[in-house]
Amino acid sequence: MNYQDPSFDVVPAPDPKKRLELYVFVSPLCEKSWKLQSVIRKLQIEYGTYFTVRTVLATKLTALNTVGFEKTEQKNSSTHPVLASVAIKAAELQGRRAGSRFFHSLQEHLFLKTKDVASYSILLDIAEEATLDLDEFQQDFHSAQAAKAFQCDMQITREMEVDVVPSIVFFNENIEDEGVKVAGLYTYDIYEAVLKEMLGKVEPKRQDPPPMDELFKKYQTLATREIASIYNIPEQLAERELKKHLLQQKLTCIDHPEGTLWKVK
């Protein structure tokens, strides 16, 4: 597949599990990675039956030996940029959903509450908020398993030659075909077009979004413009519907420089 934009490249293909497999390369400290969430969510809502997602942490560090992971009081009060990534891998050891809850909560603490998510003590608070087993989380955080999982992500990032965060690499079910790498953050229609092109002769059927109550059960924090995009309605109408849920005490709202965010109460 050829694109005029030089950020679209081809890379070797892995063994896919579905018609399409999306490798999503993000960094927990990157605001564009946070914004990419809305794109992934809408893709999953509309075309989730056609692809799976694998999230890969593309933190730009070449080694873990700059940080010690021994469980001591001194280390428990440490701060280092790599800690957030290792914490995400530790959370994932409690299951994919637990890892996802932790990741989203971490980004909210960073971008909404301006907390220092490079701090181990803050990461413990986030783990508690994400309803993780804290004893297990602390044990996994200091384990070789979490460090190796993070190193594996870095290896995948190098092998697929991903040097821009965020990036998405699309693979189809034919392992002999090359994947398509979309480097950077784009509008939803770009990713939708790549997905449809990668499906080839399969004409994807767009799924309708679930009721708003169901949507917030799956994604606990959503922006007004994100709701408008998901339901294909004007932002004013989306805000009106969200305020109804606010009056029903189902949601709380959070003011943000880029627009209002709505969170399950």
Question: 172-227: per-residue pLDDT in tens?
Answer: 887 777 899 999 999 999 999 999 999 988 889 999 999 999 999 988 889 999 99
72 found inside a domain: no
Same domain, 259 and 189: no
Q: What is the DSSP string of 53-66?
A: EEEEE----S-STT
The CATH number for 150's domain is 3.40.30.10
Residues 11-23: tens digit of each pLDDT: 544 434 468 999 9
Same domain, 29 and 148: yes
Pairing of strands 179-183, 51-57: unpaired
pTM of the model as a whole? 0.84
Q: What pLDDT score was predicted for residue 255?
A: 86
When divided into structural domains, the chain yields a total of: 2
Same domain, 155 and 250: no
Between CA 216 and CA 198 the distance in angstroms is: 30
Same domain, 122 and 236: no
User: Among the three residues 150, 172, 199, which one is the final residue of a domain in this structure?
Assistant: 199
Same domain, 171 and 218: no
The CATH number for 239's domain is 1.10.10.10
Work out the average pLDDT over 121-136. 96
Between CA 103 and CA 18 the distance in angstroms is: 24
Q: What pLDDT score was predicted for residue 202?
A: 86
What sign does the dihedral 27-19-192-210 (CA atoms) show?
negative
Residues 229-241: tens digit of each pLDDT: 999 999 999 999 9
What domain range includes position 228?
Answer: 212-264
Between CA 94 and CA 86 the distance in angstroms is: 14
153 found inside a domain: yes
Q: What pLDDT score was predicted for residue 214?
A: 95
Q: What pLDDT score was predicted for residue 18?
A: 61
Same domain, 126 and 244: no
Same domain, 162 and 220: no
Same domain, 84 and 191: yes
- Mean pLDDT across the chain, nearest whole number? 86
pLDDT bin (cut points 50, 70, 90) of residue 71 is: very low
14 found inside a domain: no
**201 vs 36, 52, 177, 204, 228, CA distance in Å?**
27, 19, 15, 9, 30
The share of the chain scoring above pLDDT 70, in percent, equals: 86
Cβ proximity of 121 and 76 under 8 Å: yes
User: Among the three residues 168, 199, 230, which one is the final residue of a domain in this structure?
Assistant: 199
Between CA 259 and CA 229 the distance in angstroms is: 14
48 found inside a domain: yes
Q: What pLDDT score was predicted for residue 251?
A: 95
Same domain, 52 and 133: yes
Cβ proximity of 198 and 172 under 8 Å: yes
Same domain, 44 and 135: yes
73 burial class (0-12, 13-18, 19+ CB within 10 angstroms)? exposed
46 found inside a domain: yes
Cβ proximity of 149 and 92 under 8 Å: yes
84 found inside a domain: yes
Q: What pLDDT score was predicted for residue 4?
A: 36
User: Is pLDDT at 70 greater than 60 in this prediction?
Assistant: no
